[in-house]
Structure 1
Amino acid sequence: MRGYLVVELLSDACFSMPAAFDTAVDTDVVLDHFGLPMISGKTLRGLLHDTLLSLPDEWDQNADGMALFGKERDHSTAGILRIGDALLDSGVRQWARWAHRRKNPAPVKRAYLRDAFLTRRKVTAIDRQSDAPKSETLRVMRVVPKGLTLRAPITVAGTLTESQIRLLDLLTGCTRHAGLARNRGLGHVRLSVMWDEMSDAEVAQPMPHSAMNSREFIFLALVVHLTAPCLISGDDADPNSRSSRPFITGAALRGAVASAIEHTNANRGLMQDLIVSGDIRFLNAYPAVDGLRALPTPITWRRYKDPRWNDADREADGHDAVLMLAGMDDPDEGTRQLQPMDHHFFASISGRQRPAAAQMRQTIHQQRNRARGASVKGETNIFAYEALEEGQSFIGALAAPADRPDLVSSLQTLLSQPLWLGRSGRASYGGAPIFKIGAPGEAEPGTNHKRIQTGDFFAVRLTSDAILRDAVTGQHDPWSLRAAIEKRFGERAIVTQVFIRSTVCTGYHRLWRSSLPAVRAAAAGSVVLMEACENLSTWDLSTLTANPIGERVADGYGCFTVASDSLNGLSIERSRAEISETGAPSEPESEAMLDAQRRLSDKRLRVFLAYEAIQTAANARGLQGSSVIQRVRGPLRAPATWRRTYADWTSGPAEHQLKPMAREGLMSISMEIRFLHHGKLYRERLRLWDVLRRAVDTEWTPTYEFDEAERQACQITSDNVSKQIWTEARAALAPYYLDVLFRSLARRAQSEGEK
């Protein structure tokens, strides 16, 4: 089951993070990589769980509560409910993505997007005896303004019972406050659940059995689309942090399927057929590039060591370094240095190599004390996760026996149910990715075998780590790669050179419930250069690479491919993902996006209009005293009537006009001021009396030198909408501009009078 947890903010709220982004505030809110507010799924799950624990004793909900959230402090019994991060609606995120990646005008700064959706609030502690603010207690915190609605994806392993659905509705209805400063009027929320039944897997029909019996294995591409951040942890030395691998390992996919078999109470024979027997091999899922599977970069590829180029440029790589490492002539005769490639993955598209990279996400979490319900000072409660960002697609593969189509059908059924990948499933990581199984093929996805003639040189590349043992000592040895490849090719080809990079492989044995020992292995991208002793057809190459080498092959280890075109040079082109998006979304702006544009325009205009007013006051002449200037500030405190008051003072009835002495004082002050009248820009030296007379006109608005440039810098909506909102905000800030101008003039007059 899938659905959404809808969070409506009925008041300002602060869902804090352990550290603030800058020194301007003391408490900051959690933001996504665009700078938009979000609520961690871990926070939402904790809120519902706290509501469950606070129910009266007569509500006997222990069984359903443990089914939803799991047994406390028992990691062997995970709950069936998973809640992802609550984000703004897709329309807002599309406009934010466009503003962040657009090319012309320049992309919007992340801080601008943050200011568009957040406001600030100042709080202080009150002395109970004197009812006055305590000293040194003023704090500034960022808050999410009321009126926004966020949606968090919900996935359930299996189907909820009627009692569990009623319990979940009860918990969402009873949860009324969230975040910090709930006793100060913040965090009033309304939660609701919306269920959306949908198919989680799109699976192509398997190849007929008659077409599969010609090979021992068939390969089916497995597309994994992440709907939540995913943490595929590697070897982390820090116990309080985890850094995800830049791809999804086959072991993680295999473990997710095994977990699904346990939680759905499926036929216990499936565990033997799909997991224990090893008949199904789960290959690593690497980043997708235009619908194709990228592969690890061979360690023999090099780029010129030139700071003007990077490995995404077409001119960066002209030749495969295998030519040089194999003892052949260096085309540049050693005049230019080479260095390894920066990208970890490349996909071959029409003879060109396109780089690929996984987007990462860093999040700081704070552990709380279970007894107090909050963090305790002095305890180690801060830990950081670097996970794969949601919204990405990865392509792996399933290798299944050609004579067992029933296994593919069983796997298809399991993938149609919500699965969880990686670690920290309770903390909203790895929630229910969408799987799509492609049509069967003869070779590992991402490979392209070509016929090899006798005497041709070709490269054997590892597409995953290979755990190998020395045939004599029996110890794990990465350099046994040469012997394994020689044994596989036999007399068909001979090894000329080997290029190996070693790595450490770990794992977790689900049946034993224990960690596997760390062993040395040949890393993905290692290359074995060979010379063909006979003709090798594409059929021969597919047969040779169908079975992996080494150990733990069911987890995707030991896969390799054959490449013959790389010895003739490389052609690198830029990835489309690295090219900025220029087209604005076709979907119109929502009311939340319009409010954000108004909020951002107001904030930026206040900064620049205040600067313009201060500069104008600094260049004023004829200052005599501050009393008359302070008097003209009074009407600005009434936004609805200040223009009418100024009109009475300057051109109204005689009994309402300013006295001659006050008028002469205002006429003695002159300044060079910049303003708009009927949309036309003016820059004139005016007397302060004339400024009051012109301000009465509703078509008079203040402006500054870089008005249009700043409007484009903070544009997060379409051009026409942005211009309209900017014009309205500038007109509305006319009293603010005048107040800053008059205040600056009064301070300067007072300062000069004291001198």
Structure 2
Amino acid sequence: MSKKKNSSSKNKSSSNKKKNEVGTTNNTEWNCGEFEITLQSDICIGNGYAFFGTIDTDVVYDRNGLPFLPARRLKGVLRESAEFLYQVKLLKEVEGNSIEDIFGYSNSQNSNGIQVGNGYINNWNEISENLDKLKKENILEELLSKEKILDLFTSVKAQTRIKDGVAYDNSLRFIRVINQYSVMEQRKDKPLKFTAGIRYKKSWKENLEKIAKATRNIGINRNRGLGSVTCVFKSKSDDVHVFNGSFSDRVETIKVFLQNIDPLIISGGDKNDTLSFIPGRTFAGALAGTYLSNAGTSAKDDVFFDLFLNGKTKFSNFTISVGNKSYYPAPYFLNKLKKTGVYVNTLQYSDKISFSNDSNLNTGNGNQPKKMKGKYANICIGEDESICVEEIEPNKRVIFHHRRGDDKLLYSQTALESGQVFAGTISYPKEHYRTLYNLLKNTRLILGKSRTVQYGKCQIININDKYKSENKKIEINAGDVIYISLASPGVFQCESGIMVDPEKVYYQIANELGFDKIIEEPKDGKIMDGDTSCPYCIVEEYIVHGYQSVWNLPRAVMPCIQSGSVFVYKIRKDAQQNKGQTLPYEIDKSWVGKRNHEGYGEIQMFCSKKIPYDIQGIDKKKQDQNEENNPSTQNINIPDIIRPMLSSICQKELYGCIMSGLLDKVTERKFDMSPSTLGRITLMLTESIEQNVERINSFKKFWDKVNSIKGEKGKKEITDLLQMYFCNKEGTLDSEKILKCTSNKEEKYMGKVMEILSVCQTERNINAENNDKKVKEIVKSFWGELLMEVLTNQKYLNKFSEGSINTDLKEGDKL
């Protein structure tokens, strides 16, 4: 008894110690703060990618094209600043405040240093959420593309290597940089700011403030005018995300929707690659850590056993999700014809199909079934027994890193792209509803590898306790052929240990589902489904890898049956009863095998007569387009935070359409004026624009200068050009004339852009007529850049024509 009491006291002490690490009571507590980084120049944070012939060094940006500062780079420059400050003795040299204490020890068992997040632009969460919603409007999908948004925040600079005033051959390089000034502000001189979250111990605060102030540069070409920043450290309240809504205490299974805010790396067999899903054991581990961090808790608690150890609570794998639909690894019977893209059930294939008159199904000319390896599918069977397939694949990206120091290394890691939604289920005992609810509400979800910097931050965005499970129930009838597909890797055990023998697994699954006594035995590995002979299983073995962060070691590998594997069973035709139940009866079961509480062994069940050879498929992009082919721009609600960005994109698109059409029309003929006159007119234009901030007012100044030209030929030529494309005879800008420069093929697109631009101008108590006036003023403001393009175009037309005067050169003639 005494021994048990001491053990309990020890556990309580341990629990209090863990609680102190996340509490608010002593000097070793963890606090939340942020680094605010303000650009003092353009900056380039390289992402390792290049685009041949256009960009040699690109910047880091997210799924929407918004640039950000990767946490690893930020932590690296902060550590450089700290090392410098320690050298000049400007940082405290006391116990617990060394560089290793603050930034962590390499290859340590625990991540005891600061935890730094990516640096995002201000209001990044709100901007990203709104962009994701607006992209679903077909009319905005193209305007809010990743490329167009990135173009707003960045520019491309050219640089070359020069010696003695002469450029080296093949040394011209193009580098994309993040612009110093923010496109999100009305003022054009307001610098762009990034905010990076940080978790730190209270005793480090003073040193972190000094380290932040000492951080002045980040990125490449720091000694070439790029990367100048100011950095400020600020304290703030905890940023644990609280999910919206709740779930009933009357249910035993809930569906949880999880979004990864940062890129996510889940350990698999390849240390530089990631799994395409979040394992149930990973999510369960995060909740278990929160449970044990509370004072007075222990891993020996009955509640802890029920939730995480004894299998009463089952955490499924979290797979990619769209809306409320779940997508599971595509069953191996589901293939896709290579050329026609038709989904087919290969278990229903027969020789008759190969000679089909239907060109979509004919497997000749290379139109062979192709496995959907790595793809996820939602197989929906309607009440009318109609069936359709929706296919999806998680987005991944390769991220490059450069390790410095004595062990220099350039390496890459594949990560799940940020902003994706994953869905999984939790089945739990009702009596632990309140505990589970609190764990889901209060757990800081940072999953996978490199959790202390750049990767892994997730949040729960929804919990559904009324969801309808798909393909988890099936009715057993005599003579039916049933497909059992593994929705997650399956772990099966026999007396000698883990087994992957397909035949043994086949019978074990039948036994667990309770129909092992009424199935037909496969003959020569085949099952007869009507006139069609199909294999009794399509199986692939898989080795489960993992990482044990507590020990800082890889987990022991474990063989299993890969998700997507299919087992085929045929119920005997003479079967009437099974274990006291009269056929037909319903099976309602979601799991087979061992370690279900970690996400292994989830299944889907299908009846073969409901899944024919050819299956209707849905193309998600075409489906979205068909839902609303011609939406009204006036009905689109554009949030205030997005309007500056969308307005700038629309103006760029509008300018591009006008410029393209104008150059096509003007290039048809060359000016007759002399190059010197053309040069003087270009100078007049430059001076008029520079002397007048308001572009519309500057046109009047330019008009007066043109009328002062003494040479009638040049004066008439430029005046005719202005009156044809820019203004009336009195020299007043005409927006209608400018808009008519657009080519006919772009008129429809430009009309939509102008409508959206008008919506972006909408303010309270402002009517549509005033918005149209604002758009026309914007169009008029383009005149200076458009005319400069025309004059530059004419300058080079003159050069090309002069260079092509002598077209009768013979071999041996000197140029």
* CA displacement at 1:526 relative to structure 2: 1.5
Return the offset for 1:251: 3.2
**Matched AA of 1:616:** R
Letter in 1 for 2:390: P
Matched, 1:226 2:269: no
Residues of 2 paired with 1:445 and 1:155: CA distance?
39
After TM superposition, the structure 1 = structure 2 runs for residues 468-487 of structure 1, keeping only pairs within 5 Å, are 468=492, 476-487=500-511
Which residue of structure 2 aligns with residue 720 of structure 1? Answer: 758
Report the CA distance between 1:247 and its aligned residue.
Answer: 1.9
Please state if 1:77 is matched with 2:111.
yes
2:488 counterpart residue number? 464
**Deviation string, structure 1 residues 381-437 (Cα, Å, up to 9, x no partner):** 03141x2232222222234456xx349716842662212222232442211332755
| Alpha carbons 2:403, 2:409 under 8 Å: kept | no
State the match for 2:746 in structure 1: 709
In structure 2, give the amino acid aligned to 1:224: L
Residue 503 of structure 1 pairs with residue 538 of structure 2: no
Q: Determine the structure 2 residue equivalent to 1:146.
A: 180
Per the alignment, residue 413 of structure 1 pairs with: 439
Which region of structure 1 is more displaced relative to structure 2, 482-491 or 269-278? 269-278
| 1:6/1:152 contact within 8 Å kept | yes
User: Match for 1:383 among 412, 420, 437?
Assistant: 412
Check the 8 A contact 1:227/1:434 in 2, yes or no. no
CA separation in 1, counterparts of 2:341 and 2:801? 58
CA shift for structure 1 position 269: 1.8
Partners of 1:525 and 1:75 in 2: CA distance: 37
Identity %: 16
C-alpha deviation, 1:674, in angstroms: 9.3
Judging changes above 3 Å, is the alpha-carbon distance between structure 1 residues 176 and 478 closer, same or farther for their aligned structure 2 residues?
A: farther
Give the Cα–Cα distance (whole angstroms) in 1 for the partners of residues 663 and 353 of structure 2: 67
Distance 1:649 1:678 in 2: 15
Matches within 5 A, 1:156-555: 156=199, 161-164=201-204, 167-191=207-231, 193=234, 195=237, 197-201=239-243, 204=246, 207=249, 218-236=252-270, 241-242=272-273, 244-257=274-287, 260=290, 267-269=297-299, 273=305, 275=308, 277=310, 280-303=313-336, 305=337, 307-311=339-343, 320-324=345-349, 336-337=362-363, 339-340=369-370, 342=372, 343-348=375-380, 350-351=382-383, 352-370=387-405, 380-385=409-414, 387-400=415-428, 405-406=431-432, 409=435, 412-413=438-439, 416-434=442-460, 438-439=464-465, 445-468=469-492, 476-488=500-512, 489=514, 493-495=518-520, 497=527, 498-508=536-546, 510=548, 513-517=553-557, 519-531=559-571, 533=575, 534=577, 535=581, 541-542=587-588, 545=589, 548-549=592-593, 551-555=594-598
Q: Which runs of 5+ in 2 are unaligned?
A: 1-30, 183-191, 528-535, 692-697, 761-774, 808-815
Cα shift readout 1:41-69 (whole Å, capped 9, x = no counterpart):
32233333333333343423773665664
In structure 1, the partner of 2:725 is 676
SS at 2:545 equivalent? strand
After superposition, what is the alpha-carbon deviation per residue over 1:440-497, rounded to whole angstroms, capped at 9, x for unaligned?
Answer: 99xx954442443444443333222213356689754244221212332255531554
**Aligned equivalent of 2:91:** 59
* Alignment partner, residue 117 of structure 1: 153
For residues 203 and 197 of structure 1, the distance between their equivalents in structure 2, rounded to whole angstroms, comes to: 18
CA RMSD after TM alignment? 4.7
Give the structure 1 partner of residue 23 of structure 2. none
Instruction: Work out which of the residue numbers 628, 641, 644 in structure 2 matches 1:591.
Output: 644
Match of 2:71 in 1: 41
Deviation by residue 1:103-127 (Cα, 9 ceiling, x = unmatched):
4488246544433332123445676
Q: Distance in 1 between matches of 2:518 and 2:582?
A: 9
Q: Give the Å deviation of 1:362.
A: 0.9
- CA deviations 1:201-237 (Å, max 9, x no partner) are 56845646xx9xxxxxx5443332222222224333x
Q: In the TM superposition, what is the alpha-carbon distance from 1:360 to its structure 2 partner? A: 1.0
CA distance in 2 between counterparts of 1:518 and 1:85 reads 38
Q: Which amino acid aligns with 1:529?
A: Y
Map of 2:688 onto structure 1: 639
Larger displacement relative to structure 2 (199-208 or 286-295) = 199-208
Deviation digits for residues 295-326 of structure 1 (CA, Å, limit 9, x no counterpart): 333222345x3734444xxxxx6xx554458x
Give the aligned length. 689
Letter in 1 for 2:318: A
- Shift of the 99–275 alpha-carbon distance from structure 1 to 2, 3 Å rule, reads closer
> What is the rounded CA distance, in whole Å, between the counterparts of 1:228 and 1:20 in structure 2?
23
3-state SS of the aligned residue for 2:268? coil
Q: Aligned pair in 2 of structure 1 residues 394, 260: CA closer, same or farther (>3 Å)?
A: same
Retained in 1: the 8 A contact 2:353–2:362?
Answer: no
Q: Are the equivalent residues in 2 in contact too, given 1:614–1:740 (CA < 8 A)?
A: no
Give the stretch that moved more between structures: 498-507 or 635-644. 635-644
Cα displacement string for residues 511-541 of structure 1 (whole angstroms, at most 9, x for unaligned residues): 7633323525243342332316435799962
CA contact (8 A) 2:267 2:546 kept: no
Distance 1:397 1:106 in 2: 32
Going from structure 1 to structure 2, the CA distance change for 1:738 and 1:519 (only over 3 Å counts) comes to closer
Q: Tell me how far 1:280 sits from its aligned partner.
A: 3.8
Instruction: Decide whether the 8 Å contact of 2:268 with 2:545 is kept in 1.
Output: no
After TM superposition, give the deviation of residue 91 of structure 1 in Å. 6.0
Q: Secondary structure at the match of 1:183?
A: helix
Whole-Å Cα distance in 1 between the matches of residues 72 and 459 of structure 2? 18
What is the alpha-carbon distance in structure 2 between the residues aligned to residue 536 and residue 79 of structure 1? 63
- Whether the 8 Å contact between 1:14 and 1:143 is mirrored in structure 2 is yes
Given the alignment, which residue of 565, 569, 579 partners 2:624?
579
Question: 1:26·1:141 contact (CA, 8 Å) conserved in 2?
Answer: yes
Q: Unmatched 5+ residue regions in structure 1?
A: 212-217, 312-316, 680-693
Distance 2:258 2:596 in 1: 20
Code of the residue aligned with 1:163 in structure 2: it is S
Shift of 1:292: 3.7
TM-score by length of 1: 0.75
Equivalent position SS for 1:639: helix
One-letter code aligned to 2:258: V
Q: TM-score, normalised by structure 2?
A: 0.71
Give the whole-Å Cα distance in 1 for the aligned partners of 2:209 and 2:297. Answer: 32
TM-superposed CA distance for 1:585, in Å, is: 4.4
